[in-house]
Amino acid sequence: MPDYKLLTPGPLTTTDTVKKEMLFDHCTWDDDYKKITLWIREKLLELAHVSAPEYTVVLMQGSGTFGVESVITSVVGGEDTLLIAANGAYGERMEDIAGHAGIHYLTYHEDYNKIFSAEKIEQLLDEHPEITHVSLVHSETTSGILNDIAAVAKVVKAAGKTLIVDAMSSFGGVDIPVGELGIDFIISSANKCIQGVPGFSFIICRTDKLTESAGKARSLSLDLYDQWKTMNKDGKWRFTSPTHVVLAFAQAIRELEAEGGIPARAKRYEENNRLLIEKMAKMGIRPYITEHQGPIITTFYYPEHHNFSFQEMYQYIKDRGYAIYPGKVTDADTFRIGNIGEIYKEDILKVCGLMKDFLDGQDADSAKKHTEDEGCLCAD
Ligand SMILES: *Cc1c(COP(=O)(O)O)cnc(C)c1O
């Protein structure tokens, strides 16, 4: 069986104890199971620093995008206008979602290596009084940048608009005071910083904003309000629930608590990230983000090495136990390394060592080739 750890931003490497939970085929309709769903929903409120009845939680089948699509297509009404702030592929995906659903929207595009300007958003809200909702990504996994949601929340809330945050790759790995910031809908998924396996997303919602959305959804299966109405009664999922994923997620939450909660996990991720960037710098490999680098994933420029092939390096490292990630920014040749999941200092040191071995090997190869070429010239 192939065996490697994932240095990708989710799915990520999970513990054996999380995976073991999936060995049981749980019944979905009985109280035991429904209690697990209710327990998860309560725990998510705690992790977001909010409480009922002001806030509530909806779990939604599917990957993270299903959660984002569920929120956007359920809460932005026919007469409403959404302002999307985008500085990477996941922000742009929100435009795609709005476009597919025929939602009125406008976009504030920012450079991939810059965070959103709260002043710019304030100005747009001023110029476009038709805007009712604002959505943005917290940790833009495309580049690894961490947007300043506190600054944006301040202007959005001052203008009285609804705020939707895609915190897919940050929730659980970066502490977010959801209530204090006044975030109305915040979305993440099972397979990111809570360290569960893929299969559902979750949305922490202001209860009043959620109930206002009743009847607005454009999709049946992604209807956020309807999903909540069923789940909020006694924990029953509206359609088949991803039982194995739910059991694994409950275990992942227990393990997050055992680690010391979000502050401890955030510290581990930050230390992994700092060490990674430091070790890479020693090899002359520079990060793409120079300001506001987040603690989740880092984009690096290709080493300035004449015959560098990402594919060869990827294979070399994978054969030795780690899977890294190709780049996704559009304006430079890059690759990415995630440092979330069951990943520790030793792993970061190991992967940097492998990268160094690979690059040294290439240097040796090209030096050898160089000598051979010279040999040929001498013979001439
Ligand atoms: C992972 C991720 C998503 C969701 O992607 P899926 O492939 O649908 O799970 C959305 N936004 C961000 C910022 C992400 O990192």
What backbone phi and psi angles, to 5 degrees, belong to 248? -65, -40
pLDDT given at position 202: 98
Residue 67 Cβ contacting ligand 1 at under 6 Å: no
Q: Is 361 in contact with 285 (CB distance < 8 Å)?
A: no
Q: Please work out whether the CB of residue 136 comes within 6 Å of at least one atom of ligand 1.
A: no
Say how far residue 178 (Cα) sits from the centre of its chain: 16
The DSSP element (H or E) to which 363 belongs, if any, is helix 345-379
65 in ligand 1 pocket by Cβ < 6 Å?
Answer: yes
Cα(42)–Cα(53) distance, integer angstroms:
11
Q: What is the pLDDT of residue 373?
A: 58
**Ligand 1 close to Cβ of residue 137 (< 6 A):** yes
Distance CA 58, CA 78 (A): 22
pLDDT tens for the chain, 380 residues long, are: 679 999 998 899 999 999 999 999 999 989 999 999 999 999 999 999 999 999 999 999 999 999 999 999 999 999 999 999 999 999 999 999 999 999 999 999 999 999 999 999 999 999 999 999 999 999 999 999 999 999 999 999 999 999 999 999 999 999 999 999 999 999 999 999 999 999 999 999 999 999 999 999 999 999 999 999 999 999 999 999 999 999 999 999 999 999 999 999 999 999 999 999 999 999 999 999 999 999 999 999 999 876 789 999 999 999 999 999 999 888 889 999 999 999 999 999 999 999 999 999 887 777 777 666 555 444 33
Shortest-distance atom of ligand 1 to CA 198: 9
Most ligand 1 atoms within 8 A of CB, residue of 70, 137, 141 to mutate: 141
Q: Report whether residue 169 contacts ligand 1, using a CB cutoff of 6 Å.
A: yes
Our answer on whether the CB atom of 213 is closer than 6 Å to any ligand 1 atom is no
In angstroms, the CA 355 to CA 89 distance is 27
C-alpha to C-alpha distance for 342 and 212, rounded to whole angstroms: 39
Give me the pLDDT at residue 371, please.
Answer: 67
* Nearest residue (CA) to ligand 1, atom 2: 168
Q: Is the CB of 147 under 6 A from ligand 1?
A: no
Q: Whose CA is nearest to atom 4 of ligand 1?
A: 64
Q: Give the per-residue pLDDT at 366.
A: 74
Backbone phi and psi for residue 264, each to the nearest 5 degrees, phi listed first: -70, -40
